Every structure is written in structure tokens, then in C-alpha cells.
């Protein structure tokens, strides 16, 4: 079984005080910080860009998991690398094999990781299946991109199971990150289907004690995948 990792999504915190969100992630023992970049085209919200990532980079040395929900990632990949992202996740919906290869080379040349995300209704494209060995993290979205605080779309569960099995059949160690609506109550459903990186916005920052919420999620996950 793969290592459980908890990734608080700071989009769910006060966007005027992201400094605190990063500090909470550190105090709670999070494994990585999930940074949702949305351009108002790919998804109906506008969040923050490389400048914010760079400013937060100075505050902590946790792994920065940057989820690019943008139409033209090739225009910004260098900026996010310079800003200090460690894992850059691109959406399969805006790529094809050759675009992916270009992005992969750019990210790899800097010694950083590439993630590939799919929306709830998207199946993994064929070009992506053949390139899974280049993907450190497969991000299975369980809400439509745009906003924190939505409930998990449970109809994604069979796909999550199928993709986890595909990764193990190929003998790969690709992390399976689940993004959207994670709460203590549904952690078991996700982890038993092979999810090992748990993104949580409202499930951490919407709680009265967000520092503790990180360990609550981890404990739940470890009950299924010790």
C-alpha cells in the first residue's frame, strides 16, 4: 500500500491571510500544501497565480502541490516552477500527448514532478494511459473544478477504483490523489479504492480546529491503509 499523504487546500481559507493557512498546514503535520490555480476559463473562478505561490514559498518548505486549472498551462509552467512548485498538476482535458510531453520535459528538467488531473466526468485518455510512468500523481477530481466546499461526487468511485488497479497492474507507484469534498466521513470510501493523497479544503479549514482536522483525516485514512 502507498503512503497516506494529507494535502490541505488553502483555497478554503481566508484568501487575505494565506500565510496562516500555510502555518496551519505545518502545525497540523500536513505532507503537502495544495494550491488551486484557476483562470476563470477552465473553471468558473479566479484564484491566485505564481506571485502568490512565490510569496508562500518563503513561509514554509512543505511540498507545494500546484493544481493548474487553467486553459493554457504551457504559458505559465516556467513561472510556477520559478515560484517554487514541487508538483505541477495539469488537466488532461486541455492536453494531448505531444503537449504533455513538452510540459513533462520542462518540469523534469528542473527536477520537479508532473501530475495529471481529470474532472469527475472525464475518463483517462489513451495518450495519458501510455504515459502514466511519467506521472508522479494522478489527480482524480471528485467535484467539478472551481470552488471549495462542494460535496463529493460518489459516482466517481468506480473510476477511482479502476485507475488505482490500472496503476498497480502496470507496476507503477503513481500516487492517487483525490480532490474534492473529502471529509472524515468519506475518507474510508476513498482510501479503500486506492486513494492515498487526500486533498481537503473545507475538511480542514472549515473546521473549528483546522490543525486537529489534519490529524483526524490522517487517522481515518490509516485505519484503512495502516
Given the rule CB under 6 A, which residues bind ligand DX5? 9, 11-12, 34, 36, 67, 69, 143, 145-146, 148-150, 179-182, 199-203
Q: Which does 220 bind (CB under 5 to 8 A by kind): Zn ion, ligand DX5, none?
A: none
Cβ-based nearer residue to Zn ion, 86 or 179: 179
Q: Does 57 bind Zn ion (CB under 5 A)?
A: no
Q: Which does 202 bind (CB under 5 to 8 A by kind): ligand DX5, Zn ion, none?
A: ligand DX5
Identify any residues that bridge with 176 across adjacent strands, giving them in sequence order: 138
Q: Does 31 bind Zn ion (CB under 5 A)?
A: no
Angstrom distance (rounded) from CA 173 to CA 158: 20
* Residue closest to ligand DX5, measured at CB: 201
Residue list 178-197, contact with Zn ion (CB under 5 A): 179
Identify any residues that bridge with 217 across adjacent strands, giving them in sequence order: none
Q: Which does 11 bind (CB under 5 to 8 A by kind): ligand DX5, Zn ion, none?
A: ligand DX5
Using CB under 5 A, which of 5, 67, 91, 119 touches Zn ion? 67
Q: Which does 181 bind (CB under 5 to 8 A by kind): Zn ion, ligand DX5, none?
A: ligand DX5
> What does the DSSP assignment read for 5-63?
EEEEBGGGS-TT-HHHHHHHHHHTT-SEEEEEEEBSSSSS-B---HHHHHHHHTT--SE
Residues annotated as catalytic (active site), given as ranges: 36, 179
Task: Categorise residue 194: left if φ over 0, alpha if ψ from -120 to 50, beta otherwise.
Answer: left
Which residues are within 8 A (CB) of 29 and not within 5 positions of it... i.e. 6 or more apart?
A: 6, 214, 215, 218
Angle, alpha carbons 150-12-16 (nearest 5°): 145
CB of 35 to Zn ion, least distance (A): 8
Would you tell me which residues interact with Zn ion (CB under 5 A)? Answer: 36, 67, 179
Amino acid at each position: 500500500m502507498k503512503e497516506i499523504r494529507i494535502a490541505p487546500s488553502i483555497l478554503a481559507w481566508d484568501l487575505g491571510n494565506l500565510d496562516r493557512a500555510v502555518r496551519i498546514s505545518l502545525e497540523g503535520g500536513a505532507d503537502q500544501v495544495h494550491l488551486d490555480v484557476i483562470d476563470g476559463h477552465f473553471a468558473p473562478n479566479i484564484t491566485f497565480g505564481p506571485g502568490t505561490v512565490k510569496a508562500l514559498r518563503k513561509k514554509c518548505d512543505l511540498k507545494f502541490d500546484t493544481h493548474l486549472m487553467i486553459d493554457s498551462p504551457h504559458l505559465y509552467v516556467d513561472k510556477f516552477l520559478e515560484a517554487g512548485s514541487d508538483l505541477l498538476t495539469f488537466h488532461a482535458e486541455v492536453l494531448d500527448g505531444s503537449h504533455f510531453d513538452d510540459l513533462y520535459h520542462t518540469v523534469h528538467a528542473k527536477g520537479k514532478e508532473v501530475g495529471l488531473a481529470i474532472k469527475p466526468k472525464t475518463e483517462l485518455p489513451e495518450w495519458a494511459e501510455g504515459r502514466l510512468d511519467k506521472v508522479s500523481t494522478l489527480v482524480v477530481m471528485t467535484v467539478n473544478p472551481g470552488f471549495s466546499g462542494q460535496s463529493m461526487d460518489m459516482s466517481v468511485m468506480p473510476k477511482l477504483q479502476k485507475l488505482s488497479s490500472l496503476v498497480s497492474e502496470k507496476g507503477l507507484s503513481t500516487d492517487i490523489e483525490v480532490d474534492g469534498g473529502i471529509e472524515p466521513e468519506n475518507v474510508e470510501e476513498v482510501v479503500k479504492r486506492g486513494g492515498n493523497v487526500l486533498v481537503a479544503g473545507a475538511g480542514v479549514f472549515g473546521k473549528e480546529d483546522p490543525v486537529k482536522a489534519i490529524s483526524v483525516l490522517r487517522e481515518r485514512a490509516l485505519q484503512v491503509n495502516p
